[in-house]
Structure 1
Amino acid sequence: MDEESPDGVVFKDDSFSSDLLRQLNDLRQSKTLTDVNICSGAWEVPCHRNVLASSSPYFKAMFCSHFRESTEAKVWLRGISATTLEQVVTYVYTGEVHITAANVLPLMEAAAMLQYPRVFEACSSYLQSQLAPSNCLGLARLAEILNCESLKEKAREVALSRFPEVAASADLKELCAAELRDYLGDDRLCGEEEKVFEALMAWVRHDLEARWPHMQELLRQVRLPYIHPAYFHHFIANEALLQASPACQAVLETARKQMFSLYSPSSRDCQPPGHIPPRSCYQDCLLLLGGQKDSQQTTRDVLLYSVQTGQWQSLAKLPTRLYKASAVTLHRSVYVLGGVAVGEGKSVICGSVYIFSLKLNRWRQGEPMLAARYSHRSAAHRNFIFSIGGTGEGQELLGSMERYDSVCDAWESMAGMPVAVLQPAVAVKDQRLYLFGGEDIMQNPVRLVQVYHISRNTWFKMETRMIKNVCAPAVVLGERIVIVGGQQICQVCGHERPAYAPRGRSHGGQAVCDGWAEADHGLQHRGLRVL
């Protein structure tokens, strides 16, 4: 290839360097002009000092300084096998090396020692492509020894993002206390806190005598307030190893207090002393669950909107096609209750409960409700879910209410509402469950506020001209209960003057996000905020 210059032409031979390297390799193989033998044990290979010195700072220092190797005919390289050394020499003279699962580790160590950074990074890239939950902890430790930041970070990313699988590997039990603490305390760890606790206990039991002194420190790395209360009560509070330690008992007692404070709606805006934040994988988001699309076809789609990224993504679909179901969040899981199940040309009113784990992107079936119902309302408070009213299997208007206890995993009947209504706005605040408006069996708006006292299991009602809403969602926003949209009017109930939605909506879902009330168009989907 030629390039013009002011006084002539610059000739560039692009193949010259590769031809030169090939000729040098031919000279090496024929032992022509070689002046040093590189040895590993009984194996040795003739080489050219100037070629080795030009390929690596390690060999340049060896042959171009006053070391004794600069004049010796044979040079032994300790700690490098004959096979690995041959691969290195082949790379020096050809620019090629064959990396496999069998040779990558010794080749990477040799590349680090002999200062061949491109071979080192090639080995690192190969290992990164082979990363799995079963080997990431071991490779992270190797990366630490070899000071390979790219492999170390990638291995750690796998360990944190796939922690439930990593916790089942033998390598986790071989970590030292400091290494395990580093993983368990990382805010990026993605796994249910129950799995984090189980991993800790498996690690302790692997060498109980030596590891018991680290128990309290490591237990603090588990975000105990975010563990499901039923699991906490049955498996953690009764764990014999923890009961034997007063220090661990103190940690559990603090977590127990934080847990019940955390799930109290009245404490959302104020964090208790010693509050432990959730891991970064628990982020505010909006979920759109099922419903009916514009074509009126019932969909199983589940969509997530990330407040941080502003992006939508599809999640695992609902197990069945449902409409007019209710949905609430409890313990960072989404509960979809009842509704009308559509399939095989028929519709069935059901009392089924489906539970979605956002972390695992997985659905499972929960304990079914006592009564099948649809067009009902649901609300969560502390460890309970309330399912209220709706339409029953015989198309009758239901005034009944039932409560799910997440600790006992059971439903129980509670006092029924004074006046059975459909589609009221529902909110929970200060130990009370509020039902605003709704409609009667003749679809006439009901001008009522019905209030249920949770701890007393009693209702009372208030007639008011201010309330005339149907199919409107409600949410707690500070000291107010906000009702948005509906088929009639929109208003804010509280100590301040009413506020109206900018445009009419009905069958909507609503959530609080960064101090603002947000609503979605519920004719298509129901929106939920997951914490």
Structure 2
Amino acid sequence: MESTHSSAIRHTSPDHSKLLLSNLHNLYVAQDFCDIQVCVGDQVFHSHRNVLSAASSYFHAMFSGGLAEMNKEKVFIQGVDGNIFKIILEYIYSGVVLIEDITVQDLLAAADMLGLEGIVGACCSFLRQQLHPSNCIGISLYAEKHACDQLKSAAQHFIENNFSKVSQEEEFCSLSKDLLVSFLHSESLVVENEYQVFTAAMQWMLSDASQRRKHVFEVLAAIRFPLISQRQLETYIESCSDLSLKVALRKLTQDFRFDRRLPYELKTGRLKPYLFQPRKSARKNVYVIGGYTRDQGGRWSDSQSLCTVECFNTFHEQWRCIPPLRHSRSGHGVVQLHGLIYVIGGESDSLIFDNMECLDPTTNKWTMLPSMMLPRCGLGACVFEDSILVFGGWVGSEIGDTIEKYDPGLNVWSELGQMETVRYAMNVLEHQGLIYVVGGMSDMGTEMQAVESFNPVTRDWIPLASMQIKRAYAGIACLEDCLYVVGGWNEHFGALCTVERYDIEKNSWSLVTPMSTARAGASVCAVNGFLYVIGGRTSSGEFTAPSTLNSVECYDPHMDTWVMMGAMPSSRCEAGIAVM
């Protein structure tokens, strides 16, 4: 029967493009139907005009734009290495490109010239993964040269986030004056304090003082001198090796010394207001997390674990509340890594935790993460490179001697090794690749004064000079390559007001001015060149349990003095602390 209706179907083969590309690659390998020879250096490549034109805007213009090469059987490519062009041809015919450290820059430059956006994008992604304090400036300049805006942005963001480390590298001193000034003006520099920005600028100046001292006022105009202590500046000027720069610095500091004595309104009238504000990305917000509280005169059993989190802006001296933890806890570890705050272990009502929570300060949201291999409280925690390490602590009914490592990239915990000396309620701090373990309680239940360093790479433990006073439940922070161990508990003296400073280079301890309030289990951190000591518990009567504190003290290491700050909204002890 004859049909009165016509029918049609449009079929798309999912494998057609892959098969076509495979066949084209076979033609290229066999050199079949080749109609063009591309000469690159001393190498000749047989290819197909239509394939090259379809893949590359450069070749499309060459073969169709009326250029001299349009009808020639042999064309010459200048400025590209033959081996690099071979990699590019392989990509054109297969869609696969091999990118390596030794070829990536030449490959990106050649692909940029030939208009191969796929290779350019792949090279940019590769270089983003290779960003390091030693190469990020070079990558940023290279990205700008080839108009790779996303790579340039990523490199500059890396420089700002790692400014202190980047400024110690050779590349930093090769920066142009204009690029240096643009970085020094950035609000996004992640620094401990403004003094780090100042010393980085001076390092650049001194690396070629004879040529650069003429730029001193332009470069240092970006430094927020009112945020740097006068004593620090005077000490630096005294040690400056270049006489002309020393004179210029004295002139600058004399002006600012006068401005410091003026009321705030007059200061901001004479100087730009931003000079009196910390950079937006500077570490200035202190997060005090969890802990426990106990009212004065209360019994030991009256302590209450906390899930609350309070944030202190050290510049404005204001407190605000942050969304609470999912689990109330005290005696936990807290670390900061890649802009996130991790809260690890701890205990509540004699239940020891193995879980971990993570706070994103940009969204103020908590997330539960994989648990440790063992539950721990009274542990020590720190960051090493891109991992989190936890040490010792109470593990069930005994003191743990293991070290666990958390890899945020893999989202897994693993065992790293064992402690040389078992302890809990100790201080743990990483500094320049070594981890310092200080004091704590021994397996005999007595306070310790022993100090050790641990190298996570070699797994070696080294005994160091002991503290002058045995202490556990102390706080610790690092200022200017010195460790400060603050307060703590001693069986004979109760809560301690003493503070010891450890000189890493000399391997020696000394006492500094004590706090006005004796306290154990306080939260301690370093911000903008000062020590902040928050909360804790103090000694009480013979028949009452120690009460928790809400007071805050601040220590200036250059003046060796303490001042009382505004009180925390709630009293707490054995809380975790992080600075963002």
How high is the TM-score relative to the length of structure 1? 0.62
Q: Deviations over 1:321-369 (max 9, x none)?
A: 8999999xx99xxx99535469xxx9942224489xxxxxxxx998351
Aligned to 2:46, what secondary structure does the other structure show? strand
User: Which residue in the other structure is 1:197 paired with?
Assistant: 198
- Tell me how far apart the structure 2 counterparts of residues 30 and 212 of structure 1 sit (CA, whole Å): 63
Letter in 1 for 2:207: H
User: Which residue in the other structure is 1:452 paired with?
Assistant: none
Contact 2:59 2:114 in 1 (8 A): yes
Aligned to 1:11, what secondary structure does the other structure show? coil
Contact 2:498 2:518 in 1 (8 A): no
Matches within 5 A, 1:5-404: 7-191=7-191, 192-236=193-237, 239=240, 241=242, 248-258=249-259, 273-274=270-271, 275=273, 276=275, 277-282=277-282, 285-288=285-288, 291-292=291-292, 294=304, 299-302=331-334, 309-311=363-365, 319=428, 338=487, 340=489, 348-353=494-499, 367=512, 369=514, 373-374=518-519
Contact 2:237 2:250 in 1 (8 A): no
- Tell me how far apart the structure 1 counterparts of residues 520 and 129 of structure 2 sit (CA, whole Å): 50
User: Which residue in the other structure is 2:401 paired with?
Assistant: none
Letter in 2 for 1:43: Q
- Tell me how far apart the structure 1 counterparts of residues 531 and 139 of structure 2 sit (CA, whole Å): 44
Q: Deviations over 1:251-300 (max 9, x none)?
A: 32233345566xxxx95999564131211123764521674273598525
- Tell me how far apart the structure 2 counterparts of residues 38 and 367 of structure 1 sit (CA, whole Å): 75
Matches within 5 A, 1:439-450: none
Matches within 5 A, 1:489-500: none
Aligned to 2:279, what secondary structure does the other structure show? coil
Q: Deviations over 1:117-174 (max 9, x none)?
A: 1110100000000100000000101011111111101111111111111111111111
Contact 1:219 1:248 in 2 (8 A): no
Aligned to 1:9, what secondary structure does the other structure show? coil
Letter in 1 for 2:171: D
Q: How many residues align?
A: 400
- Tell me how far apart the structure 1 counterparts of residues 533 and 237 of structure 2 sit (CA, whole Å): 27
CA distance 1:172–1:182, change in 2 (3 Å): same
CA distance 1:153–1:51, change in 2 (3 Å): same
CA distance 1:163–1:313, change in 2 (3 Å): farther
User: Which residue in the other structure is 2:315 paired with?
Assistant: none
Contact 1:34 1:48 in 2 (8 A): yes
- Tell me how far apart the structure 2 counterparts of residues 269 and 21 of structure 1 sit (CA, whole Å): 72
Letter in 1 for 2:57: P
CA distance 1:45–1:72, change in 2 (3 Å): same
Structure 1 unaligned spans of 5+: 1-5, 356-363, 398-402, 413-425, 429-474, 476-508, 511-518
User: Which residue in the other structure is 1:516 paired with?
Assistant: none
Shift of 1:373: 2.2
CA distance 1:298–1:351, change in 2 (3 Å): farther
CA distance 1:137–1:15, change in 2 (3 Å): same
Shift of 1:231: 1.6
CA distance 1:80–1:324, change in 2 (3 Å): closer
Shift of 1:229: 3.9
Letter in 1 for 2:331: T
- Tell me how far apart the structure 1 counterparts of residues 15 and 38 of structure 2 sit (CA, whole Å): 29
Report which of the two structures shows the higher radius of gyration computed on alpha carbons: 1
Contact 2:167 2:200 in 1 (8 A): yes
CA distance 1:373–1:272, change in 2 (3 Å): farther
Q: Deviations over 1:42-86 (max 9, x none)?
A: 201111111111112111111012111111111111000110111
CA distance 1:367–1:176, change in 2 (3 Å): same
Letter in 1 for 2:571: G
- Tell me how far apart the structure 1 counterparts of residues 168 and 96 of structure 2 sit (CA, whole Å): 38
Deviates more, 1:193-202 or 1:75-84: 193-202
Contact 2:554 2:564 in 1 (8 A): no
- Tell me how far apart the structure 1 counterparts of residues 30 and 99 of structure 2 sit (CA, whole Å): 26
How high is the TM-score relative to the length of structure 2? 0.57
- Tell me how far apart the structure 2 counterparts of residues 366 and 282 of structure 1 sit (CA, whole Å): 30
- Tell me how far apart the structure 1 counterparts of residues 515 and 179 of structure 2 sit (CA, whole Å): 48
CA distance 1:244–1:25, change in 2 (3 Å): closer
Shift of 1:311: 4.7
Aligned to 1:221, what secondary structure does the other structure show? coil
Contact 2:136 2:155 in 1 (8 A): yes
Identity %, equivalent residues: 24
- Tell me how far apart the structure 2 counterparts of residues 530 and 286 of structure 1 sit (CA, whole Å): 5
CA distance 1:106–1:153, change in 2 (3 Å): same
User: Which residue in the other structure is 1:449 paired with?
Assistant: none
- Tell me how far apart the structure 1 counterparts of residues 511 and 159 of structure 2 sit (CA, whole Å): 30
CA distance 1:258–1:281, change in 2 (3 Å): farther
Q: Deviations over 1:213-244 (max 9, x none)?
A: 11111112222222244322311466464765
Aligned to 2:512, what secondary structure does the other structure show? coil
- Tell me how far apart the structure 2 counterparts of residues 7 and 365 of structure 1 sit (CA, whole Å): 94
Matches within 5 A, 1:462-481: 475=566
Letter in 1 for 2:250: Q
Contact 2:291 2:305 in 1 (8 A): no
Matches within 5 A, 1:426-441: none
Contact 2:189 2:282 in 1 (8 A): no
- Tell me how far apart the structure 2 counterparts of residues 83 and 168 of structure 1 sit (CA, whole Å): 36
- Tell me how far apart the structure 2 counterparts of residues 29 and 384 of structure 1 sit (CA, whole Å): 68
- Tell me how far apart the structure 2 counterparts of residues 205 and 248 of structure 1 sit (CA, whole Å): 13
Superposition RMSD on alpha carbons, in Å?
4.9
User: Which residue in the other structure is 2:402 paired with?
Assistant: none
Q: Deviations over 1:441-471 (max 9, x none)?
A: xxxxxxxxxxxxxxxxxxxxxxxxxxxxxxx
